[in-house]
Chains A and B, each alone.
Chain A
Amino acid sequence: MLPRTLQLTAVAKRSALLGIFFFFSSLFALHGQQPAARTVTDELGRQMTVPGELKRVVSLAPSITEIIFALGKENLLKGVTRFSDFPPAAKKLPQVGSYVHLDLEKIVALKPDLCIGIKDGNPIAVVRKLEHLGIPVYAVDPRDLNAILETIVQVGALLGAEQKAHAIVSHMRARVGRVKSLVATSPRKPRVFFQIGVSPIVSAGTQTYIHELIVMAGGRNLAEGPIPYPRYSREQVLGLSPDVMIITSMARGASFERVKKQWSKWPSIPAVRNNRILLMDSNVCDRPTPRLIDGLERVAEAIHPDLYRKKP
């Protein structure tokens, strides 16, 4: 009797072990379907836990929306902020307030796995509140062109689009390189006044993308200095005697032609005399997105039209 019972218990043991094995292996299989949560560190060095595979992302700034679209991950995007107008498809997504005045309730209702926000702009109080409600906020901080490239790579890694991100970044680098080598052939550094506001007249100081674009495009930013967005009187602009004036379309309603006409009363400004006043879409020179390179090329063409004319 004894050996039989032993045998039986052995069989029972084996089947139990098998059962446990199958139980765990099925757990493993389930596990394989749902990648584990991962810990990521955002550009401000803050750590957060996000699901292994992000499914619902809310963008808290128009520039982030553009980057996500550029990365081809717009299927994850469940909400955007107002003025997310590029690409046009972004306008159709649900809006969660403007980037400085976010609508908390709408964000929560979209049930995002993650929000991607921008350090300069999104109020820290809202970000803290979102995190309090269990929604992680990944903050990016693209202060200059190099940081923008870094941000694109980071967001690409976050959303599982590393390859696309690297492709975008190397394409952007190549275009920057072309502009730089082209303007390097000119010995001149024209004086540029970049006007982003109509009344009052506002320009962009050293800590802006606009300054970086002007310098990279072989010009001299007349508004360089510590103040990010300095104000100017008409008299000061006359005194600066810019060779080139670039006006952005930021002020909606104020037509470019009217601003241009106002300046044309002052032919003592070289830019007016030589008809070197140009209009630019503000979105391509003040948003930290891949489109900033379009802005760079346009600024370079405005500053050095001769170099661009020579090209076929």
Chain B
Amino acid sequence: MKPRKPHILRRICIISTLLLMVLGIIMLLGISVGSTGTNIKETLFSLMGVEKADTMLETIIWRIRLPRVFLATLVGAALSLGGLVFQALLRNPLAEPYILGISSGSGIGAILGILGGLSPFPGVSLAAFAGSMATLSLLLFMTSGKTMLKKNVLLLSGVMVNAFCAAFIMFLISITQDDRLHNIIFWLMGDLSMADLPQVWLLAAVVIPSAVLIFCLSNTMNLFLMGRELAQTMGVNIKFITATLLVATSIMVSATVAACGPIGFVGLVIPHLLRLIVGPDHRVLVPACLLGGSAYVVLCDILARTLPEQGEMPAGVITAMIGAPLFIILLKKSGS
């Protein structure tokens, strides 16, 4: 085992550096591009502090685009890592935090918050967070005891919780008739446009510790893939590790959903894509997913901001529109 360690460390470093460069370029692009035009040169100068752009552009770069790019980065990292963890835990390639109803749960929370007239932040965000935590507790309660070890029970319960929540969301939408409907629909489509820095720091405070914890457990996730029995014989406390990963991931994902609404398919597409490129070792996959997911969501947000001529569309629309066909292509390729 010992001689392998520097090797894996080197791989982690190389892959992370490469992805970090990709992320850096995309983030720079994200800060340079907007509905008022593209200005990469001015942005670079402004970021490096070489030359002050005019105050209007400074405001747009630092106070509108930058928070938005940071938010997209965190959201992408959390969602794609969430997908990776759920796929490892449930040993099901279709698993994604959303499939367990976590996003629908927070959707109900958020809609009730909007209908109750709460302020968008922190009111609606807290309601969304409470909603997803309630769904998660319900799920854990339903599958508690021995059955929790059976992955299918957890997955199927999640699918049903999700279906129920989706129906409840439809019900709430159908009884809403005034202009709060706009707020609800924009929230459900996943919107990054309202990002501001305090919100970004708050999200970072949730996502970064969770990601570190998951990285520490990444070797254990490798053992999970060999099968639970084998993992248990190798001294892994399955129940404890499962619960820890599940809770850490859920908190991280609910925080992102609370911040910007459900943004789909990131957790499905990015881990699959990266698994094809870097292989199944979770010690490499965890940092790769963090960086790759960030880059994907920032890129999708750039498209969302610039593609439509009239105003912008929610980033969640783009992630799903690219994600679903990409996933089908990946499935076909890996099958053949």
Contact = CB atoms under 8 A, between A and B. Distances in A.
A121 B183 CA distance: 10
Most buried by B among A97, A98, A105: A105
A105 B179 contact: no
Contacts of A101: 182, 186, 193, 311-312
Interface in B174-225: 177-179, 182-183, 186, 193-194, 196
Contacts of A220: none
A94 to B, nearest CB: 10
B59 interface: yes
Interface string A94-130: 0101101101111011010000000011011110010
Contact of B60 (A97, A100, A108, A229): A108
Given A97-B311, A111-B56, A106 B179 contact: no
B194 A125 contact: yes
A54 B245 CA distance: 57
B63 interface: yes
A106 B119 contact: no
A228 interface: yes
A105 B64 contact: yes
Given A82-B311, A95-B310, A108 B186 contact: no
B311 A105 contact: no
A230 interface: yes
Interface in B287-318: 310-312
6 contacts: A101-B193, A104-B193, A105-B34, A106-B35, A123-B183, A132-B63
Interface in B113-132: 119-121
A233 to B, nearest CB: 14
Nearest to A123: B183
B56 A100 contact: no
Contacts of B282: none
A106 B36 contact: yes
Given A228-B178, A230-B177, A105 B121 contact: no
A124 B120 CA distance: 8
Interface residues of B, number: 24
A100 B177 contact: no
A134 B59 CA distance: 10
B179 A129 contact: no
A102 B64 CA distance: 13
Given A109-B60, A124-B120, A229-B178, A129 B194 contact: yes
Interface of B: 34-36, 56, 59-60, 63-65, 119-121, 177-179, 182-183, 186, 193-194, 196, 310-312
Interface residues of A, number: 28
Nearest to A207: B178
A98 B311 contact: yes
A133 interface: yes
Contact of B64 (A100, A108, A229): A108
Nearest to B57: A109
Contact of A121 (B35, B179, B194): B179
Contacts of A124: 119-120
A93 interface: no
Nearest to B313: A101
A134 B179 CA distance: 27
A227 interface: yes
Most buried by B among A109, A126, A230: A109
Contacts of B56: 108-109, 111
A130 to B, nearest CB: 10
B177 A133 contact: no
B44 to A, nearest CB: 18
A134 B55 CA distance: 12
Contacts of A133: 59, 63-64
Given A109-B56, A111-B56, A129-B196, A104 B64 contact: yes
A125 B64 contact: no
A228 B56 CA distance: 41
Given A101-B311, A105-B36, A133-B63, A229 B194 contact: no
B182 to A, nearest CB: 4
A123 B182 CA distance: 9
Contact of A125 (B59, B121, B178, B312): B121
A85 to B, nearest CB: 13
A109 B36 contact: yes
A250 B2 CA distance: 72
Nearest to B65: A105
Interface string A113-156: 00000001101111001001110000000000000000000000
A52 B69 CA distance: 37
Most buried by B among A97, A121, A227: A97
A125 B120 contact: yes
A189 interface: no
A113 B160 CA distance: 52
A82 B194 contact: no
A9 to B, nearest CB: 48
Contacts of A134: 59
A134 B63 CA distance: 11
Contacts of A126: 194
Contacts of A105: 34-36, 60, 64-65
| Ranked 8 nearest A-B pairs via Cβ | A109-B36, A97-B311, A100-B182, A125-B120, A105-B34, A229-B177, A105-B35, A125-B194
